[in-house]
Amino acid sequence: MAGNQTEHIVNTDQYITIAASEYTWEQTIKKSRFIVNMARVETEADARAFIDRINKEHNKATHNVWSYMLGERDQVQRYSDDGEPAGTAGVPMLEVFKNNEVHDIVAVVTRYFGGIKLGAGGLVRAYAGTVAGGIAELGLVERIQRHKMSIRVDYKNYEPLKYWLEQHEFTILDTQYDTGVTLTVPVADDATDSFETSVQDLLAGQADLTVGEIDLFEVPYDKRVTAQTSSLK
């Protein structure tokens, strides 16, 4: 399978990716169907296998354009226009990954031609917009290192605690109900003491907190997804 490669250096301090292992989204533009299938990948073999699978599923499509980007510094970047005019399809898809800083991702945009030509600019907007639309609909997550903080409270203190956590933008990873309520919240290493103090102050000392080991967590990442590419600036 032929492909091209471009280079892009990113800030590796932040890791953002799509919120599900696989996702499908589609739109119709001037009677052509544009269907994006995207997935998280860790290796080129994973990406190629996904592309092959989508090609087989849509073997009657007019085009199956693909792009993928992976590696610790996004050093692996490949794409194919699959018969569309050069620079109008695979590259715009790849630029959507870069401009939204989405890591370790492969996308295949399948086009079923509807009889109306879009022109070069229209194709760029269609392919970039389909990828961006799929990412926006699915959502993004950020992978972070945090302590797994466990907070156990009586039922009467559950709603006040939940409200406080939401107001201070702490993500509730899990909630367990038995004789009391236990919430699991990721907390930064340098914030565990202040977090515990704030919760105990809020609930007048009526909370049992346990600081767990540092682990990787995925939390929702609120960001406006852009379809901007160099061709559309």
Confidence of residue 6 (pLDDT cuts 50, 70, 90): very low
pLDDT above 90: residue 13: no
**Which pLDDT value is given to residue 231?**
67
User: Measured between alpha carbons, how far is 152 from 207 in angstroms, rounded to an integer?
Assistant: 6
pLDDT digits (tens, 9 = 90+) for 160-181: 999 999 999 998 999 999 999 9
Whole-structure pTM value: 0.78
**Which pLDDT value is given to residue 217?**
86
pLDDT digits (tens, 9 = 90+) for 67-83: 999 998 999 999 999 99
Lowest average pLDDT, out of 8-17, 90-99, 149-158, 213-222, goes to 8-17
Which one-letter amino acid corresponds to residue 184?
A: T
**Which pLDDT value is given to residue 135?**
98
pLDDT digits (tens, 9 = 90+) for 215-233: 988 888 988 999 988 766 5
pLDDT above 50: residue 151: yes
Choose between 152 and 231: higher pLDDT: 152
Domains (range + CATH), the chain: 14-138 (3.30.230.30), 145-215 (3.30.70.240)
Q: What is the mean pLDDT of residues 195-216?
A: 95
CA triplet 34, 8, 122: central angle to 5 degrees? 30
**Which pLDDT value is given to residue 155?**
97
Bridge partner residues of 28 (DSSP): 33
Residue/partner pairs of 113-122 with CB below 8 Å, 24 or more apart? 113/32, 113/62, 113/63, 114/28, 114/30, 114/31, 114/32, 114/33, 115/31, 116/30, 116/31, 116/32, 118/29, 118/30, 118/32, 120/85, 120/87, 120/88, 121/231, 121/232, 122/29, 122/30
